[in-house]
Structure 1
Amino acid sequence: MARFILMRLAGMIPAMVAISILSFVVIQLPPGDFVTTLAAQSAEQGNTMTEAQMQTLRERYGIGQPVVKQYFHWIGGVVRGDFGYSFEWNQPVSALVMQRMGMTALVSLLTLVFIWVTALPIGIYSAVRKYSPGDYIVTLLGFIGMATPNFLLAILMMYIVTIGFGQSVGGLFSPPFVDAPWSLARIWDFLKHVWIPVLILGAGGTAALIRVMRANLLDELRKPYVETALAKGLSNRRAILRYPVRLAINPFISTVGWVLPSLISGELIVSTVMNLPTAGPLLLQALKSQDMYLAGAFLLLNGALVLIGTLLSDILLAIIDPRIRLR
């Protein structure tokens, strides 16, 4: 198992290098740079920046250097934990990233737990009770969940919760707890607010994984070894959970590789609609204002989440199914 994990970690290195290059190229694609955007914003406010001031800013932050030198300057700082400086927010990118990514990771983790806890038993039920009324209801809800955009679901949920239950929505905390230190009261207030974003972000993923689990388990239930297990005296529940579910869950686990980054990308629009203090709105603003270091940090971390999710799914698959371990 140790050799298996080391080989996966070694394979992540060139992939991470490629992701860093693509992230840097993407943020360099828009015409101009942040200094040009800053000059335009200053002109709208009645303040004019001279060409000398603009050139000084470009030299100070390395914007006037060749693209290759800018990349190595940027990635060298990333390796040391320095993601650069945010021109718009006038503070280090690492501070902004830590503020937002921590809350984003917490919301994403809760959403991932919600998806798994919900999709796994429902998928098993839908396969075992094939073509039953419950299966048809689950299938209908699954199609609706996959077809409904997250931002539309967010608007509907905000309306229902506000009008029907009289609860304030938007943000992850009530106003008195926004800047308060962590305590039991703040944790309880967080739990009262976070269930709405978790439900919205997890709806599409839950619906998709229910279909994946149902299809995989139906294939396994038709195989002769299930009939053999039942003929030997195993109960129906034990025979299903012990054998076909363990095999059908393999593709289910492999979806961790795309669930993690999809939560972050889907969180962007939902967070903007619901005014959540997560990475999504900050990334959107950084892309709009061409704040290259801030945008590059988020794009790089999103790519890293893909690799981390793939690594986790590989390790879990190797633990559950020893047949796929490399020797």
Structure 2
Amino acid sequence: MFGYLTHRILVMIPTLIAISLITFVIIQLPPGDYLTTLVMEMQSRGETIDQGRLAMLRETYGLDRPLAEQYLYWLFGMLRGDFGYSFEYELPVTEVVGDRLWLTAIVSFATILFIWAVSFPIAIYSATHQYSAGDYALTFLGFLGLATPSFLLALVLLYFANVWFGTSIGGLMDPRYVDAPWSLDKVLSVLEHLWIPVIVIGTAGTAAMIRRLRANLLDELHKPYVVTARAKGLSPRRVLWKYPLRMALNPFVSDIGNLLPQIVSGAAIVSVVMSLPTTGPMLLQALRSQDMYLAGSFLMFLAVLTVVGVFLSDLALALLDPRIRLTGGTTR
């Protein structure tokens, strides 16, 4: 076990380095750089920029260096905790991100809890009561959740939250707490606003997980070992919880590596509609303006979530399913 953990951790290091190189190359693929985009925007407004000042800015930001040197500067900076300088905000990336990263983590974690807490009871009921009225009703709600656009649901919930509960429209807190230091009142304001984006972002994921878990559990419930357990006189609840449900959970545990980055990156449109101070809108703007270090830092954050999530899912699968072994070879 220790050897497996060591091997996986050592593999993660070159994986992240390769991802950082690919990320840097992709960001650099569009012609020009941030200053080129800035000059084009100024020219479209009829403004001009002094070429001497442009050359000074290019030297200040390090854009006059070779691409390989820029990449190495960014890579070794990240190892020291320095994620570079945001051209657009004229601040270090760590200062630009600020509370956005924490708020994104809060929204993502709450959304995952919502998805699992809602989908599992519904899926278990739907699988154990196949073709019942409740199964048909829950199936209809699941398809409705998959078909409803997230931005439309966001607009509807924002309206009703303002009319019924008096919650201010947009954002994750009352406007008076945006620039205020963290306090109990600010935390309570975040909790007051948090349920809206959690429901909006989690609805599609909940509906999809209900359908998948229902299908997997139905497949397990019709296998011979379940029939044998029932024939031995085990209670239906014990038969369900002992093996079929554990086996049906395998695909979801293996998806931990994809779940977090999908929620963080997939909520960008909802964040724009609801004016959420999360990383999604900032990442889109950084990519549009070719703010290299800011966009690259966000993408590396998603990469780390994916790599670490896959590692944790592999360990959880080994604990969940005794048929999975972490060592190679065969046993006789």
Q: Secondary structure at the match of 1:53?
A: helix
Distance in 1 (CA, whole Å) between partners of 2:300 and 2:153 is 28
1:95 aligned to 2:95?
yes
Q: Secondary structure at the match of 2:267?
A: helix
Name the amino acid aligned to 1:239: V
Structure 1 equivalent of residue 159 of structure 2: 159
Structure 1 equivalent of residue 330 of structure 2: none
Report if aligned partners of 1:100, 1:277 keep a CA contact under 8 Å in 2.
Answer: yes
Name the amino acid aligned to 1:308: V
1:200 aligned to 2:200?
yes
Report if aligned partners of 2:167, 2:193 keep a CA contact under 8 Å in 1.
Answer: no
Distance in 2 (CA, whole Å) between partners of 1:251 and 1:72 is 38
Question: Over residues 233-278 of structure 1, what are the superposed CA-to-partner deviations in whole Å (9 max), with x where a residue is unaligned?
Answer: 3211111011110111111211212211110122211111101111
Report if aligned partners of 2:171, 2:193 keep a CA contact under 8 Å in 1.
Answer: yes
Structure 2 equivalent of residue 9 of structure 1: 9
Measured at CA, do residues 182 and 233 of structure 1 come closer, stay the same or move farther in structure 2, by a change above 3 Å? Answer: farther
Measured at CA, do residues 170 and 119 of structure 1 come closer, stay the same or move farther in structure 2, by a change above 3 Å? Answer: same
Structure 2 equivalent of residue 291 of structure 1: 291
5 Å-filtered alignment, 1:24-103, equals 24-43=24-43, 48-103=48-103
5 Å-filtered alignment, 1:1-327, equals 1-43=1-43, 48-327=48-327
- Report the TM-score, using the length of structure 2 for normalisation: 0.92
After superposing the two structures, state which structure 1 stretch, 275-284 or 53-62, moved more: 53-62
Distance in 1 (CA, whole Å) between partners of 2:101 and 2:166 is 30
Q: Secondary structure at the match of 2:63?
A: coil
1:114 positional shift: 0.9
Total equivalences in the alignment: 327
- Unaligned segments of structure 2, at least 5 residues: 328-332
Distance in 2 (CA, whole Å) between partners of 1:12 and 1:250 is 23
Distance in 1 (CA, whole Å) between partners of 2:312 and 2:150 is 26
Report if aligned partners of 2:170, 2:274 keep a CA contact under 8 Å in 1.
Answer: yes
Distance in 2 (CA, whole Å) between partners of 1:3 and 1:128 is 41
After superposing the two structures, state which structure 1 stretch, 199-208 or 133-142, moved more: 133-142
After superposing the two structures, state which structure 1 stretch, 20-29 or 45-54, moved more: 45-54
1:30 positional shift: 2.0
After superposing the two structures, state which structure 1 stretch, 168-177 or 274-283, moved more: 168-177
Report if aligned partners of 1:170, 1:276 keep a CA contact under 8 Å in 2.
Answer: yes
Distance in 2 (CA, whole Å) between partners of 1:117 and 1:201 is 14
1:166 positional shift: 4.1
Name the amino acid aligned to 2:221: L
- Unaligned segments of structure 1, at least 5 residues: none
Measured at CA, do residues 129 and 310 of structure 1 come closer, stay the same or move farther in structure 2, by a change above 3 Å? Answer: same
Distance in 2 (CA, whole Å) between partners of 1:6 and 1:110 is 31
Question: Over residues 6-54 of structure 1, what are the superposed CA-to-partner deviations in whole Å (9 max), with x where a residue is unaligned?
Answer: 3322232232122111211121122211112233444566753222221
After superposing the two structures, state which structure 1 stretch, 156-165 or 207-216, moved more: 156-165
The percentage of aligned residue pairs carrying the same residue is 54
Distance in 2 (CA, whole Å) between partners of 1:117 and 1:156 is 23
1:228 positional shift: 2.1
Distance in 2 (CA, whole Å) between partners of 1:310 and 1:13 is 14
Report if aligned partners of 1:77, 1:84 keep a CA contact under 8 Å in 2.
Answer: yes
What do you get for the CA RMSD once the two structures are aligned?
A: 1.8
Measured at CA, do residues 208 and 4 of structure 1 come closer, stay the same or move farther in structure 2, by a change above 3 Å? Answer: farther
Measured at CA, do residues 6 and 133 of structure 1 come closer, stay the same or move farther in structure 2, by a change above 3 Å? Answer: farther
Distance in 1 (CA, whole Å) between partners of 2:224 and 2:40 is 71
Report if aligned partners of 1:150, 1:266 keep a CA contact under 8 Å in 2.
Answer: no
1:67 positional shift: 1.6
Report if aligned partners of 1:97, 1:298 keep a CA contact under 8 Å in 2.
Answer: no
Report if aligned partners of 1:268, 1:281 keep a CA contact under 8 Å in 2.
Answer: yes
Name the amino acid aligned to 1:276: L
After superposing the two structures, state which structure 1 stretch, 83-92 or 39-48, moved more: 39-48
